[in-house]
Amino acid sequence: MTAVVSPTVAEPALAQSTGGRADGVLRLLVRSKSGLAGLIVVVLIIGMTIFAPLFVDEHNPVHADNRWAGPSGDHWLGTDHAGKDVLKQVVLGGRTILYVGFFAAFITLAIAVVFGSLAAYYRGKLDSALLQLTDVVMTVPAVVLLAVVGAFFGLTSPTMLALLLGVITWPVLMRSIRAQVLSLKEREFVEAARLQDLGSMRIIFVEIVPNMAGYILINFIIAVTNAMYALVGLYVLGLAPLAGANWGIMIHQAWTYGAIYLPEGRAFILAPVCAIALFQLGLVMLTRALEETFNPRLSRG
């Protein structure tokens, strides 16, 4: 189930520009030691996955005579079951995981925001239909659906994996967004917009949704975390294509080839696990700092 932070309706701040609001959030975030540390970790790992191919040779040849070699000057983290350099796999192995995580989170958030906003603003039959749709999607076992789709369609494309993860993880967040909009639509600034006859779509997506920016950002980070865990789980279970090299495939191969039982192979399983855990820790620290930034009552609690 997708984790969603407890609803905290943002106060309208229509007089502030988006740029000024972002600058203020950044200043408050920098004041938080844990938030700043989380931001640095996240930026460094994302930067590594983006720029590593410019400095690291992606060619990682097989050396059957150098299997499970321990750390050395040539291979700082040793080699795997095929004699490939482990450090090179870790440095280059985050692209697919991060791409799917962020893209799936974007899809989840887009569906949840659009459906939740429309359902709350218009109510009536549209609201009932969308709530029924969320019930249907939530009753479908995600693991079973992923296994069936993976067996029939192969899911060889990271984009397809992201789309699949995105379209099955939006219902919980959609209900939370709906609750936010139900509260915001009764505010004075929405009434003023109605009196000006600005149009429903503009009121929803220009007046209401921007006032949930903090809440949406926090849940986007949470959605990234959930999507990454789901994708790694697919790789570990063998439900996602095992072609290429990424952190999830490394964990699957480490388990398959018994790296955990070999002293020389422990770096092969610990390196991707530590990379994923470090990135998730950075996201958690960043999320907590953002919660305190957008809701100061948490910092006083």
Q: Give 52-92 pLDDT, tens digit per residue.
A: 888 888 878 888 788 888 888 888 898 898 889 999 999 99
Residue 197's pLDDT is: 83
- The average pLDDT across 205-229 equals 91
Q: What percent of the chain has pLDDT over 70?
A: 87
| Measured distance CA(125)–CA(122) in Å, rounded | 9
Residue that has been written with the tokens 């930034």 in this structure: 293
| Measured distance CA(120)–CA(186) in Å, rounded | 11
Given a cut of 90, whether residue 127 has pLDDT beyond it is: yes
Instruction: Please tell me the pTM assigned to this model.
Output: 0.85
Superfamily of 80-300 according to CATH: MetI-like (1.10.3720.10)
Please state the length of the chain. 301
Given a cut of 60, whether residue 300 has pLDDT beyond it is: no
Given a cut of 90, whether residue 240 has pLDDT beyond it is: no
Q: Are 8 and 295 in contact, with CB atoms under 8 Å apart?
A: yes
Confidence class for position 5, pLDDT limits 50, 70, 90: low
- The average pLDDT across 197-213 equals 89
Domain boundaries, the chain: 80-300
Q: What percent of the chain has pLDDT over 90?
A: 40
- The average pLDDT across 44-58 equals 89
| Helix (H) / strand (E) containing 208 | none
Residue 1's pLDDT is: 47
